[in-house]
Structure 1
Amino acid sequence: MNFFAKLPAALLSACLLFAGTGVTHADDLETMLNSRQQVLNQFGQETPADSKNVFVPIRSDAPAPQPSASAGNADELIKSAMGLLGVAYRYGGNSARTGFDCSGFMQHIFRRTMGLNLPRTSAQQAKMGTHVNRSELQPGDMVFFRTAGRGRISHVGLYIGNNRFIHAPRTGKRIEITSLSNKYWNAKYAFGRRVKKNDPSRFLN
C-alpha cells in the first residue's frame, strides 16, 4: 500500500481517535483535512467526488459562463421592435415620432440595439448577412418579400418566432405582428437573412 493509499486511512483513524477521547475540535479537523488536500494537490491527486465535508479550494480565476451572443442580440432586437408596435406607417419614414416604412423600421432597431447601420432600402438590406432557409428561421432574422412583382425585393420584417414576424406593412397601417402563414404574405415570401453583431459575414452578399 503506497503513501497516498495509507493517508485517507490514517486520517480516518485519527478522527476516530479524537472522537473517542472527546477532544475533537472543528479547527483541528479542518486543519487535518486542509493538509490532506494540499498534499493531494501537490501530487496531482483529486479529491473523490463523493467525499463529504472536505475543503476543496475553488479557482477564483475560472471564467464565468457567458450567454449566447446570438440569443442576446435576438432578444434585444425583438424587445426594441415590440416597443414600437402601433407606430404608424409612413413612406420614407425612419423615426418613432413621425412613423416608419418597413426598411426604416429595420434600420432603426438594428442601429439602436446592435449598433449596425443597415442600408436604407429592403432590396439593399436583402444583401446583408447570410441567407437563411424558411425552415431554419430563428428569432432575430430578417424576412423579405416580393410585393411589387418582377422578382424584386420590396418588403422586410423581423422574424420573432412561432412563424410570426413584426413589420411596418403599408400606408394606413401601423407596425404589427403578422403570421407568415397569412395567405398574402405566404405567397409573397422570398427568403430570410441573418445579420449578427461582430460577424464579418454581415457585409457579404
Structure 2
Amino acid sequence: MFVRTLFALLLTVTLAVALVGCSVQPRLEGRAWSGDSDAINAYYQRWQGTPYRLGGTDERGLDCSAFVQNLYGEVFSQPLARTTLAQSEQGYRVLPAELEPGDLIFFKTGWKARHVGVYLGSNQFVHASTSVGVTRSSLSNDYWRDAFWQARRVR
C-alpha cells in the first residue's frame, strides 16, 4: 500500500513538473517607455536635412532603411536588417490605432517600391525622403495615408 501511494505521488509530481515545463508563456507585447519619442526626436534633429542617397549610410547621404537601421542601433541598441523589405519582416504587425513611438511604418510608394520610417507619436513619423532627405512627416498627409502598407513592432 505504501509503495502504491508513493508511486502515485511521484507520478503526480512528475506529471505536474512536465506540464509546467511545457506550458506556453504569454507573449509580452513590446511597449513604448517614456522618453522614446524624445530620444527619437533628438536623433532625428541631428540628421534632419541629411540628403537622400540610395545605398548611402552616413552623413553624406542615406536611404530610408539606413536611417531607420542607424536610428534603432543608436536609440534602442537594437540591430535591424539593412533593407526595407527585410525590415518589413522583422517583429510583428500592429494596427495603425495601436502605433507607439518607435514602431516601424512601411509604405508602398510605387509598383515595387517600399519605404520605411519610425513612428514618433501624434501621427508623426521620421524618415529619409527621396525629395527632401531626413524629415518629419504626418500620417494624415494624403500621400502617406494612401501609401500606408503596414506597421511593425520590433522591440
* TM superposition score category, shorter chain reference: 0.7 to 0.9
- Per the alignment, residue 106 of structure 1 pairs with 68
CA drift of 1:114 comes to 2.1
Q: Taking structure 2 as the reference length, what is the TM-score of the superposition?
A: 0.73
Between structures 1 and 2, the one with greater strand share: 2
Find the aligned partners of 1:120 and 1:135 in 2 and give their Cα distance: 27
Instruction: Work out whether 1:185 is the aligned partner of 2:144.
Output: yes
Unaligned runs of 5+ in 1: 1-67, 197-205
Kept in 1: contact 2:32–2:102 (CA 8 A)? no
CA drift of 1:177 comes to 0.9
- Per the alignment, residue 38 of structure 1 pairs with none
Distance 1:127 1:74, change over 3 A: farther
Q: Which structure has the higher relative contact order (CA within 8 Å, separation 6+)?
A: 2
- Per the alignment, residue 42 of structure 1 pairs with none
Aligned Cα RMSD in Å? 1.9
- Per the alignment, residue 34 of structure 2 pairs with 71
The one-letter code matched in structure 1 to 2:54 is Y
Kept in 1: contact 2:55–2:63 (CA 8 A)? yes
CA drift of 1:101 comes to 0.5
CA drift of 1:72 comes to 4.2
CA drift of 1:176 comes to 1.0
- Per the alignment, residue 96 of structure 2 pairs with 134
Aligned residues: 125
Find the aligned partners of 2:113 and 2:93 in 1 and give their Cα distance: 14
Find the aligned partners of 2:85 and 2:42 in 1 and give their Cα distance: 24
Find the aligned partners of 2:64 and 2:89 in 1 and give their Cα distance: 16
Find the aligned partners of 1:69 and 1:186 in 2 and give their Cα distance: 23
Find the aligned partners of 1:124 and 1:71 in 2 and give their Cα distance: 28
The one-letter code matched in structure 2 to 1:137 is L
- Per the alignment, residue 46 of structure 2 pairs with 83
Larger CA Rg, structure 1 vs 2 = 1
Instruction: Work out whether 1:166 is the aligned partner of 2:129.
Output: no
The one-letter code matched in structure 2 to 1:76 is A
